[in-house]
Every structure is written in C-alpha cells, then in structure tokens.
Structure 1
Amino acid sequence: MLTVPLLLLAMAAGPSGRVVVPLETGWEFRRGEMPGYEFPRRWRKVTVPHDFAIEDLPPAPQTPEELEPIAGEWRFRLGDDPSWKDPSLDDSGWKTVRVPSTWDAHGDAAVNAYGWYRRKLRIPAGLARKGFVLPLGKLDDVDEAFLNGVRIGGLGSFPPNYRTAWSQIRLYRVPPGLARGDGSDVLAVRVYNGGGQGGWYAASERPLRSGPFDRGAP
C-alpha cells in the first residue's frame, strides 16, 4: 500500500474563535514517503477531492490501425509469369477464388505447378507511412509475395532446389513508404505446389492489427 502525506497549510479563525479548516482548498501534495516529508519543500498545490493514483499513468494508447482481413475473394490463375507481379496488370479475366482454400477445393488441382493470387488491399495511410508486418497465413508449398511489384518476402525454395515450407506462418515486413495507403495497393503472391493439394489453405479471418505488442510490429 502506498502512503502519501498530505499537509494542510490553510487555516482560518471562524466567528466563534474556533479554527475552521477549509477542506477543498489550501492543500499541498507530494507523492512518495520519506523522512522529512512533514516539512513542505517544493510541494504542489492541489484541490480536494484529488486522486493521485492516476497522476503518473501513461496516456491511453491509440486504437491500433487495422488492415482488412487477408481471407476473402482473390483473383487466381494457374501458371507462372514474372509479369503477373505488376500492379498495373489487368487480372479481370482471372478466376475468383476464396482464401483460405486449397487448389483442389476451387477446381484447380495441380502438382508440380505454379499459381498466382492477386488482390487490391486497403492499407491505412498511417501504416503505409511507418511500415508494418503483413501476416499471410500458410501456403502449400513455396511462396513469394510482391506488394506493388516489389518482393516483400517468401518461404521455401522453388525448383530446381525445391524445399517445402507448407506448415510455416508467413509474416512479411513492408518497409515505410512502399504501400500507397490510398486503396490502390496490389498484393501478388506466387505459389508452387510440390505435392498434395497445394494452395493458400490457412489465413486469418479477423482484422489484422498493428500495435506495439503485436508480433513483429515495427
């Protein structure tokens, strides 16, 4: 328990000659406890009631800015072409699929094959300016991700030195200024399936947050 001394300095004589102590004003306050605190020195004037318990609390944290969920509708196409990372590419003729789902689930079963996902993301301008971490979930087997045509990360190894990373969670850092934050940002994800069903089979359904306690936050 924290003990805090309060020193009453203001006293006045009432009509009857009794000492009247005003309880609302005339108080001085100093937080802490140590010998000599009964003698005022650099104490601070306060008015009661006064709650010293909240004086040193840090400012209330701002609500973390949120990205829209990765889960949802994406454009998808089997095949592999490096130009498909270009944000200006017209992908209106691509198939619309749901993420998360396997290639088999949306009728694109293929092994030892490549596929690309594309979608515009709504990224808050504040996050775009300071940078953030983009969690993509899990992809089977190998991937690399491009934001506005710039590679931001990848896991596993593509052929000829194939190495799967199907069970690993993707967390890719977006540097400050790469995202525009105006609704036009395009994320393109290249995926290779070396066996099994393949695809983007796990993604968060909840909004993605960027705050001081989030894993990998700037």
Structure 2
Amino acid sequence: MNNRKNILALFRISLITLLIVTSVGNAFAKELKSLVNLKGYWKFTIGDDPNWASPQYNDSEWEKVFVPKSWEGNGFSNYNGYAWYRKNFSITIPKSVSYVYLNIGYIDDADEVYVNGKLLGASGVMGPVSQTAYNIPRMYPVPKEILNQEGENLIAVRVYDDYRDGGIVGGNINITFDADQHKMNVDLSGYWDFETSKEISENHKKVITQKEGKIFVPGFWEARGYSFLDGKAIYSKRFVYPIHLSTQNQVLFAGYIDDIDEVYLNGEKIGGILDLKRKRRSYSHISANYILRAYEIPDKLLIKGHENYIEIIVRDHGGPGGIYNGPIGIIGKESAQKIRNKSIKDSRSPFQKFLDYWFD
C-alpha cells in the first residue's frame, strides 16, 4: 500500500512539473509570429574551433542531429564538453520590422550564438569553471541589417555542457517577430537604461546588440548577460511623445514581467502588478508572470513634443527575471483593450487550469 501511495505521489509531482515547464514555454512564445521554423535536423560536431562560426566554413562532413533534443538523445552518449551546431536558412522580413527574434529554446548548459559570423547572444558561462543557464529560454534580437534577404544565412551555436544531458534540449526553435509590437503608436521596445547591483557577464560584452549601461528589451535579463540576477533592477527610458497624438485615453503596455513591477511616468506612479491584480478580478487566478502589464495613463501626464521619462522597477524572486516579452509601448485605450482581452484568454496556462479544476 505504501509503495502504491509513493508511486501516485511521484506521478502527481511529475505531472505538475511537466505542466509548469509547458506553461513557461507557452507564455514565452505567445503573441510572436513565426517567420522561419528551425526545428529539425542541424549539422553537429563535438569539439571546439572559432572558425566554425564562419559562413565560409565547410561543414559537409559533420553529423546531422535533431533539434531540439539533447545530443545524448542523438547518439552522443556520456559526452560533456564543447560542441557546435550549424544551420542555414532563408528569410523575408516585413518592411516595418527593425528586429526579429531568434528563439533557440533551452540550452544545457551555456551557449554563444552566431548569425552570419556575428556574435548575437550568449547565456551562462563556459568551462572550465562553468555556470549553467539551462532554465533560461534563449531569445536573442537579430538586427535586420545583418540578415541576407536575398540568399542564405547561417546560425552557428557553440555549446558547453558540464554535466548529464547537453545541447539544445527543448523549447521553441524559430525566428519570430511580435505583431502586436507594431500596433503601438509609440514603440518602446529596444534599448533601455538598466541599473542593478550585478555586473554583466564577460562573455556577453562582445554581443553585437550589447551597449554599455543599456539592456535590450524584451528578453529575460539572464539572456542579456546578467546571470543569476535575483532582486531589484531598474529599467528607464526617455522618449519624445509625438505632437500629433492625443494625450487622452492612452495606455502604456510594459510587456510581460517576471516577477513584480512598479511603473512610473514622468515621476508619477501609474501602476504595478499588485495594484493591477487587486483592480481586475479577471487576473485573480493568473500568475503575475503571465499577465501583460497594461496601465492607463492619466490625461495630460504625457508631454507632447518634449522628452518624457519612464521608469520600471522590477523585483525578481528566483528563476528567470525581467521584462521578458512584449508588446512594449503606448497605444490608444480602444486598441489596447483588444490586445489585453486576448492576452487574458491566452494567459491561462495548462498549470493554472489544472489548479482551477482541483481547487476552485
């Protein structure tokens, strides 16, 4: 009887764990429109050579492995150390889009990602003294100008694994853009000032989208070079509000945030997740991490034709953190309502539906 109870308990724990992982993946991918599906077979080799990042390198003798799947699951059993993946792709980007996002899933343990030979992103720390980033979904911004829209492009992924399974092990593997981001009257995605007590990782300083004192938003801050950052960080941005836009009935979208936020515009607090959950009953059963931050801007708080200042204070309590997904910008209330309603419908993760079923 005790064995049966133990088996049932382990089954429940495994089910809940699976639902949590699925929920995180679904929340991270929503609202993004896929341009290129990268799931499937990639070229692969163990070892390490910086020349393997080059589009000119001949990888015709490399093995083929399925992505996403650990390299152990692809036949490279009991291997720990360095390995590389490579894949060619073609892409057509909408004219209004300045950045697309390379989603490279979950990588165990650390990675450097190159596109057309340029270091696009890095997470974790490689050996000999490594730091894992296995639980961080890799989403790296790709500037439109480094991509060839009239021919082939190359992704090269350098991976270091320290223990057990290694490689690109799961998650979304594609190139996307945020369709809702381009509905904003004022687009606030891109570079923000960033203040925190932790220094950026050395391996991230050479990333092409890295700017000193800045962070690219959206994206988990761990995937922007701030490994194991828990606690408080401050995002801030100055922008000019267009003269032709109304300052009435406007909404600030501050994206999806992990975990707790307070948002200030021109020195006045306009919202925070704790206030938002108290105000809207529709959010009562939704984890804060899955709620799109939508804050109404008091009339005339925005200053037309002059510099305005946004400050977002974020506190993270373990795991990935920061403004991890969009949209981020200012939009009229009527249009904002449509996006917000859809976000509420989409944000009820399988895990939350599971809890509602058993505990409501």
Q: Could you say which TM-score interval applies, normalised by the shorter chain? A: 0.5 to 0.7
Q: Which residue of 2 aligns with 1:126?
A: 94
Any unmatched runs of 5+ in structure 2? 1-31, 182-254, 256-324, 329-360
Instruction: Say yes or no: does 1:99 pair with 2:67.
Output: yes
SS at match of 2:145: coil
Q: Give how far 1:69 is off.
A: 1.6
Choose the corresponding residue for 2:132, options 128, 141, 164.
Answer: 164
Instruction: Say yes or no: does 1:66 pair with 2:47.
Output: no
Choose the corresponding residue for 2:49, options 81, 100, 105.
Answer: 81
Contact 2:72 2:79 survives alignment (8 Å): no
- Measure the CA separation in 2 of the matches of 1:91 and 1:153: 22
Distance 1:207 1:175, change over 3 A: closer
Distance 1:103 1:210, change over 3 A: same
State the TM-score, normalizing by the size of structure 2: 0.40
SS at match of 1:83: helix
Distance 1:96 1:169, change over 3 A: same
Choose the corresponding residue for 1:195, options 163, 170, 177.
Answer: 163
- Measure the CA separation in 2 of the matches of 1:66 and 1:207: 6
- Measure the CA separation in 1 of the matches of 2:80 and 2:112: 16
Distance 1:92 1:209, change over 3 A: same
Distance 1:178 1:217, change over 3 A: farther
Q: Which has the higher contact order (CA 8 A, sep 6+)?
A: 1
Choose the corresponding residue for 1:142, options 85, 105, 110.
Answer: 110
Structure holding more helix per residue: 2
- Measure the CA separation in 2 of the matches of 1:170 and 1:120: 19
Q: Rg larger in 1 or in 2?
A: 1
Question: Per-residue displacement from partner, 1:58-111 (whole Å, max 9, x unpaired)?
Answer: xxxxxx863222211100000000000001111111101110111111111244
Instruction: Say yes or no: does 1:211 pair with 2:176.
Output: no
Distance 1:158 1:120, change over 3 A: same
Q: Which residue of 1 aligns with 2:85?
A: 117
Q: Choose 105-114 or 150-159, whichever is displaced more.
A: 105-114
Which letter maps to 2:171? Answer: A
Distance 1:205 1:191, change over 3 A: closer
Question: Per-residue displacement from partner, 1:14-56 (whole Å, max 9, x unpaired)?
Answer: xxxxxxxxxxxxxxxxxxxxxxxxxxxxxxxxxxxxxxxxxxx
Q: Give how far 1:129 is off.
A: 6.8
Q: Give how far 1:177 is off.
A: 0.1
Name segments (4+ residues, structure 1) moved above 4 Å.
none
Query: Superposed, which structure 2 residues align to 1:24-63 within 5 Å?
Result: none
State the TM-score, normalizing by the size of structure 1: 0.64
What is the root-mean-square deviation in Å for CA atoms of aligned residues? 2.5
Q: Give how far 1:185 is off.
A: 0.6
